[in-house]
Amino acid sequence: MGKVPRILSWRNMLVLSLAVNFSLILRILKGTDGGNSSYVVSIWPVVSNSLDRTVYGDSKWPVVSTTASGSSSLSSASCNYNETQEDDDRIINLKLGDPMVYERYWQEMGHMTTMVIAGWQSLSYFSDNNNELCWFLEPELAKEIVRVHKVVGNAVTQDRYIVVGTGSTQLYQAALYALSPHDDSGPINVVSAAPYYCSYPLITDCLKSGLYRWGGDAKTYKEEGPYIELVTSPNNPDGILRESMVNRSEGILIHDLAYYWPQYTPITSIADHDVMLFTASKSTGHAGMRIGWALVKDKETAKKMTEYIELNTIGVSKVSQLRVAKVLKAVSDSCGNETAKSFFEHSYDAMFERWKLLKQASKTSKGFTVPDFASQRCNFLGEVFEPQPAFAWLKCEEGIVDCEKFLREKKNILTKSGKYFGDDLSYVRYGNLNNAMIETFNHLR
């Protein structure tokens, strides 16, 4: 049999492959699709003379561009804007929070939080912690959680059970599962005082559970019988320190203390509640590790929360737990370093500068205001200061009824409307408090 002639060598095929891929990339970038309009979502920052995105600590802001026939990619399922845009202008997206403000600090820490995990490690579902309750909790993480809370003085850890979860979102669902009655009484109502975290209603009702359901604003809740109240303190979106609102004997409380750290608010007391939720994304800025933890007083509640996580994800990533343990150790170690600023001091300074600029901008603006906070002494930092939240809760004045619509249509700025937080349309939440956001605020005057 004759040999097949060798027409194309591997070098020819490589060149051909590169050419095809390059042409496809150009096609995508140009937005061409057989003559039809399309939209491109870019994750790169827009750099202009008026809005400098490259300053210290700023994150990479997503930019959404659409054509007259296209629609944005923002999903209403996560309380984001999901309407068709009317023009091809680029839009500044200030809706979402992403803790990139901490990036510079952790870069400067170098290899302090670097770790090498061998391929044979983390094979088992089970952690070597002799913990019959939360059997997937890494002992090193448990140790560092207890340590950092003792260092900061923001939560009681003695005689508490630690339950680790994939972020505080999973722990919230686990707490609802654990605290709801498992009988024929019907779903228990879950309430929170408005403005509440916009994802609470969505998370509560997403599975249409027969155990619990969203019951609305705790301030106006009147139904009789058992209920679960979410107390977020400091609160997302407005940064206010919260207490329970309904205050009835049949109420069950979950305290979401994700922002109860000294860079956001003065630590005035050691939190001591039945169920307290924390997360690495807010405490240290490591949102991508997806680790949260609950401090639980009642053993049976902690068991049921563990049961939910076992059913939901068969545990929590060991690699992420080990990484967060390493980060928390670095944070606690920095607090004992007398020759350099601690992590919390660095973070406090960054938030202080941003809020100082934001307040200056709001004073010269007639159409927009931000909340006023009372100063308190922080037991950890030893300073008296006002809360300086990670978000800005903005109110439109001068007759602007729908603040989100006004900013979107008149200023090409995407924010989250107050309606998603159970509040008035005159409010919006600005995500990611940084210099880019403050510069846009200056342009609203």
Q: In this predicted structure, what is the pLDDT of residue 9?
A: 52
Residue 362 belongs to a domain with what CATH number? 3.90.1150.10
The verdict on 251 and 397 lying in the same domain is no
Burial (Cβ within 10 Å: 0-12, 13-18, ≥19) of residue 19: exposed
Q: 168 in a domain, yes or no?
A: yes
Residue 223 belongs to a domain with what CATH number? 3.40.640.10
Task: Count CA atoms within 13 Å of residue 248 on its CB side.
Answer: 15
The verdict on 399 and 361 lying in the same domain is yes
Top-confidence residue, 239 or 81: 239
Burial (Cβ within 10 Å: 0-12, 13-18, ≥19) of residue 217: middle
**pLDDT, mean of residues 253-279:** 98
- Convert the pLDDT of each residue in 423-436 to its tens digit: 999 999 987 665 55
Give ∠ CA 114-117-119 in degrees, rounded to 5. 155
Q: Is the pLDDT of residue 270 over 60?
A: yes
**pLDDT, averaged across the chain:** 81
**pLDDT, mean of residues 376-399:** 94
Query: Domain range holding 155?
Result: 125-334
The verdict on 320 and 354 lying in the same domain is no
Q: 321 in a domain, yes or no?
A: yes
Q: 26 in a domain, yes or no?
A: no
Q: Is the pLDDT of residue 249 over 70?
A: yes
Q: Is the pLDDT of residue 101 over 90?
A: no
How many structural domains does the chain have?
Answer: 2
- Which string of DSSP letters, residue by residue, matches 362-399? HHT-SSEE------EE-TTT--EE----SSEEEEE-TT
Instruction: Give the H or E element holding residue 278.
Output: strand 275-279
- Convert the pLDDT of each residue in 63-82 to its tens digit: 333 233 332 333 444 554 34
- Convert the pLDDT of each residue in 201-222 to its tens digit: 999 999 999 999 999 999 999 9
Q: 73 in a domain, yes or no?
A: no
The verdict on 381 and 325 lying in the same domain is no
The verdict on 421 and 436 lying in the same domain is yes
The verdict on 220 and 276 lying in the same domain is yes
Q: 58 in a domain, yes or no?
A: no
Q: In this predicted structure, what is the pLDDT of residue 398?
A: 84
- Convert the pLDDT of each residue in 151-183 to its tens digit: 999 999 999 999 999 999 999 999 999 999 999
Domain final residue pick, 334, 355, 376: 334
Is the bond leading into 195 cis (omega within 30 degrees of zero)?
A: yes
Q: 262 in a domain, yes or no?
A: yes
The verdict on 357 and 269 lying in the same domain is no
Q: 54 in a domain, yes or no?
A: no
Identify the DSSP state of 339. T
Q: In this predicted structure, what is the pLDDT of residue 245?
A: 95
The verdict on 146 and 282 lying in the same domain is yes
Q: Is the pLDDT of residue 22 over 60?
A: no
Given a contact cutoff of 8 angstroms between Cβ atoms, the answer to whether 264 and 239 are in contact is yes
The verdict on 311 and 220 lying in the same domain is yes
The verdict on 156 and 264 lying in the same domain is yes
Q: Is the pLDDT of residue 10 over 80?
A: no
Lowest-confidence segment of 99-103, 143-147, 268-272, 276-280 by average pLDDT:
99-103
Sign of CA dihedral 391, 397, 402, 405: negative
Q: In this predicted structure, what is the pLDDT of residue 111?
A: 87
Q: Is the pLDDT of residue 185 over 60?
A: yes
Q: Is the pLDDT of residue 341 over 80?
A: yes
> Which tokens go with 344?
């919390």
**Quick check: pTM over 0.75?**
yes
Highest mean pLDDT among 47-56, 97-106, 217-226: 217-226
The verdict on 320 and 371 lying in the same domain is no
Q: 24 in a domain, yes or no?
A: no
In whole angstroms, give the CA distance from residue 294 to residue 428.
30
Domain final residue pick, 281, 301, 334: 334
Top-confidence residue, 314 or 4: 314
The verdict on 370 and 386 lying in the same domain is yes
Domain final residue pick, 293, 313, 334: 334
